[in-house]
Structure 1
Amino acid sequence: MNMLDGMDVMVISYVAPHISSAWSISPQSLGVVFSAGLLGMSVGAMFLAPFADKIGRKTMILICGLLMGISVFATILANTVETLIFFRVISGLGIGGMLASTATLTAEYAPKPQKDFWVSFVMSGYPIGAVLSGMVAAKVIPIYGWQTMFQLAGISTLCTLPITLFFLSESLDFLLKTQPNNALNKANSILSKMALPVLASLPEVSRESKIKVSVTSLLISETKTATIRLWIAIFMAFASLYFLTTWIPKLASATGLSVELAIYAGTIFNLGAFLGIISQGYLSSKFGLKKTICGFLIATACLMLIFGFFSGSVMTLILFGLIGFGIQGGFVGLYSVAARIYPTEIRNTGVGWAVGAGRIGAIVGPLLGGLLIGLGLSMTINFIIFAIPTLIGGVITLYIS
């Protein structure tokens, strides 16, 4: 499901040069289109994902998958910037809710000693989806047109729903601690599949543990400071990340690369991201989660600062890969931080609002990038500007507790 998220997010970036050419729209207008999807993701993460703390993680994943599949496929009907924005907002709702729910479900099943690794591993599906869709886009768009990419993405998403329905289990933690209707039978079914003893009755849940699910429950004294610092860190990381993921194909094309090679620039970035996410998960188990995230983000900021020295050479593509390695590896670790902070009863709400705070940064990043590019600023200057929030995000992560 996270691979589909990566595909559905990045498909707009891969088709952007073609839509820009066909519709004669400016970089500023493209920035609004990019940010429309991110606005939907922010709303989905903050207001849709929290319902998973009431209806379950699996149910939310199915709802989000349905939203994504229908809206992405329907994007082929867009013939104006306004209709394109509408479909991107709707698909964003599903993507935002999906990311929070998959991260939460993984955290609730993963063994504690390797929890950070497995959350990162599952989230690494996101750049893999972006890589595979980029490879497809490079071949499909020149021959069949940009609409075909939305058809393929939508159909692929809808095809996964039966697989999810029949093979994905609900969170056992969720069933035992929130105890929805028929929780005992559902929990025992899962325990049987895991070859574990079944329960005669549900465990007693104290009144204190039945926390009212809302954003205010994230800002109680025990988690208030950590929540605010997490939101700042993930806002900064997302702003840089989505500037990069959104504009790399367009910026690379502006340097004189062919459209196909410009798409591959984004693919190399996301391939580096996959390796970075896996490496971060492993290193976090060795050196500590927050220290590892901080190191990844600070190293990324340094790479962005020196980017100009290699612009125009083959090293440009290598740096894209290294920057993807660092920024994605660092920001995905913040999902694990969020899953650690909050108890099961409000975990999806906590992760969702963290993702939502990040998505606000993700809205700002592409919009600011569009404005800066529209003003004629070079790729080098843009990278220097966005190195600053990357650095800030890394430093603040150390102080989340």
Structure 2
Amino acid sequence: MKKENDTPLDVQAFFNSQGFSGYQWLIFSLCFLVVLLDGFDTAAIGYIAPSLIGEWGVAKPALAPVLSAALFGLAAGALSAGPLADKFGRRAVLTASVLVFGLASLASSFSGSLDSLTVLRFVTGLGLGAAMPNAVTLTSEYCPDKQRAMLTNAMFCGFPLGAAFGGFLAAWMIPHWGWRSVLLLGGAVPVVLALLMLVALPESVRYMVAKGQPSERIRRVLARISATAATASSFVLTERQAGPVSGSGLALVLGRSHRIGSFMLWLAYFMGLVIFYALINWMPILLKDAGMDPHKAVLVAALFPLGGVGAVFCGWLMDRFNANRIIAIGYALTALSIYLIGQTVGHDGWLVVMVFVAGTLMNTAQSSMPALAAVFYPTQGRATGVAWMLGIGRFGGIAGSFLVAELAARSLGFDRIFTIVAIPGLIATAALIVKQWVHPQAPVGRSLRDPAAEPVAH
């Protein structure tokens, strides 16, 4: 029998000293699949929108409620799930949320009217909104410091990949089996994944230490990463934050030491989602109205979220340089590239290139925001901080959907619509510059050997 070590084990130092183990890759993979399906289900409604117009004979402005219903649910789900996860744990809330959006998407595939589809898309959104921030938080809390942004961004790449994959799949499935098949697939797979998560997904070790849970439970999880943890008798974690920790959950997020940074994160993410949902929901229709074949319009629009894979490289940069400035540059270049899309109408080759470039820049910046938020908040408020940024940001998605609906109703041209949609990128840039000014930030992956670091013992 191994003799227990009386020296407390610092769990973050433990992660930093180990290679990224197979067990951590399992956690990463499960969270990646959650976010992949989140992206697929979130974007699905935009890809089936032209089919809804044809089958149900509705006008384009009438689609705004169903296109934005999931976004209202996403906001509500994120705002409530963060505090719940900081209180009851990441694992339970994440698993339940995947099951909710899977079942709701299954039910959506049997909708017989626009009204029933709108209601079910809202319920789907509740699950989607609760899932994403907890997948981000759980992944972040199992990462070594020097790779946290890169690994968290790599996991979050599942969202744009899922959205893009949904476009390519929808373009193939809808002609064969109709638009309902897309929602059916988007519901069945998450239900299976939720059952797998019940068996294989652990709770966050950092959360368990912060909440003073039994040492044996913590030791059992850490021992699956490395046998060196098997002899530890007690555990401690060290936090590096923007200021002294006071309270937990929302009280911490809105406390004096984090308040301005929180508001700037919310504003930047909000503006990013104005762009993302304005284009992901409406680009197939806008391209079709500009004279492009509907099938080709869906394929070109699917290139926009595909560009999010650039977030892995952005995460690498964030681990080495100033993360606020890196993402701010991404948003500024996004604004320029969105404007240029509007100038390429009638030139299909250049249009394809600019959609992909804009998608790469925009989704790289947007997909990097959860990693930025995760490192900004300590464990006691991390799930709430990430979730509220994502939740508040969802209202930007709602605004983006209604913005393009209003611009289309006013009969604005293709170029003018894209010029207006580019402006939020400049606002997001300014928000991150303000955050850096108020909360000067070193590279995300910097060691926690910091005089401001605070130990949390168990």
Q: TM-score range by the shorter chain?
A: over 0.9
CA distances 1:318-346 after superposition (whole Å, capped 9, x unpaired): 11111111111111222122112211011
Residue 273 in structure 1 maps to residue 308 in structure 2: yes
8 Å contact from structure 2 (residues 153, 312) kept in 1: yes
Residue 197 in structure 1 maps to residue 261 in structure 2: no
Structure (1 or 2) with the larger CA radius of gyration: 2
Aligned partner of 1:374 in structure 2 is 409
Aligned partner of 1:386 in structure 2 is 421
Aligned partner of 2:443 in structure 1 is none
Aligned partner of 1:120 in structure 2 is 153
Partner secondary structure for residue 197 of structure 1: helix
Note the 1:315-326 alignment, pairs <5 A: 315-326=350-361
1:383 offset after TM fit, Å? 1.0
What is the alpha-carbon distance in structure 1 between the residues aligned to residue 413 and residue 323 of structure 2?
A: 35
1:109 offset after TM fit, Å? 1.2
Note the 1:21-170 alignment, pairs <5 A: 21-170=54-203
CA distances 1:253-273 after superposition (whole Å, capped 9, x unpaired): 222222221111122112212
Letter in 2 for 1:10: A
What is the alpha-carbon distance in structure 2 between the residues aligned to residue 193 and residue 165 of structure 1?
A: 17
RMSD: 1.8
Note the 1:214-363 alignment, pairs <5 A: 215-274=250-309, 276-313=310-347, 314-363=349-398
CA distances 1:274-312 after superposition (whole Å, capped 9, x unpaired): 2x2222212223432111111111011111222233112
Change (3 A) 1:385 1:204: closer
Q: Which runs of 5+ in 1 are unaligned?
A: none
Provide TM-score, normalisation by structure 2: 0.83
Aligned partner of 2:442 in structure 1 is none
What is the alpha-carbon distance in structure 1 between the residues aligned to residue 128 and residue 255 of structure 2?
A: 28
Q: Which has the higher helix share?
A: 1
Aligned partner of 2:215 in structure 1 is 184
1:202 offset after TM fit, Å? 5.2
Aligned partner of 2:449 in structure 1 is none
Residue 20 in structure 1 maps to residue 53 in structure 2: yes
Change (3 A) 1:294 1:202: closer
What is the alpha-carbon distance in structure 2 between the residues aligned to residue 22 and residue 156 of structure 1?
A: 26
1:203 offset after TM fit, Å? 4.9
Letter in 2 for 1:380: D
8 Å contact from structure 2 (residues 308, 367) kept in 1: no
Letter in 2 for 1:308: G
Tell me which stretches of 4 or more aligned residues in structure 1 moved more than 6 Å: none
8 Å contact from structure 2 (residues 311, 364) kept in 1: yes
Partner secondary structure for residue 311 of structure 1: coil
Q: Single out whichever of 288-297 and 301-310 deviates more from structure 2.
A: 301-310
1:216 offset after TM fit, Å? 3.3
8 Å contact from structure 1 (residues 49, 101) kept in 2: yes
Change (3 A) 1:289 1:210: closer
What is the alpha-carbon distance in structure 2 between the residues aligned to residue 145 and residue 204 of structure 1?
A: 52
Change (3 A) 1:72 1:366: same
8 Å contact from structure 1 (residues 229, 397) kept in 2: yes
1:49 offset after TM fit, Å? 2.8
8 Å contact from structure 2 (residues 342, 417) kept in 1: no
Partner secondary structure for residue 310 of structure 1: coil
Letter in 1 for 2:212: Q
What is the alpha-carbon distance in structure 2 between the residues aligned to residue 210 and residue 188 of structure 1?
A: 28
Provide TM-score, normalisation by structure 1: 0.94
8 Å contact from structure 1 (residues 27, 371) kept in 2: no
Letter in 2 for 1:211: G
Q: Which runs of 5+ in 2 are unaligned?
A: 1-33, 239-243, 440-458
Letter in 2 for 1:379: F
Partner secondary structure for residue 345 of structure 2: coil
Count, aligned residues = 395
8 Å contact from structure 1 (residues 49, 96) kept in 2: no
Letter in 2 for 1:338: A
1:16 offset after TM fit, Å? 0.5
Q: 1:396 aligns with which of 403, 420, 431?
A: 431
What is the alpha-carbon distance in structure 2 between the residues aligned to residue 246 and residue 30 of structure 1?
A: 10
8 Å contact from structure 1 (residues 116, 289) kept in 2: no
What is the alpha-carbon distance in structure 2 between the residues aligned to residue 89 and residue 43 of structure 1?
A: 9
Partner secondary structure for residue 194 of structure 1: coil
Change (3 A) 1:204 1:157: closer
Q: 1:172 aligns with which of 205, 224, 232?
A: 205
What is the alpha-carbon distance in structure 1 between the residues aligned to residue 140 and residue 327 of structure 2?
A: 18
Matched-pair identity in %: 28
1:48 offset after TM fit, Å? 2.2
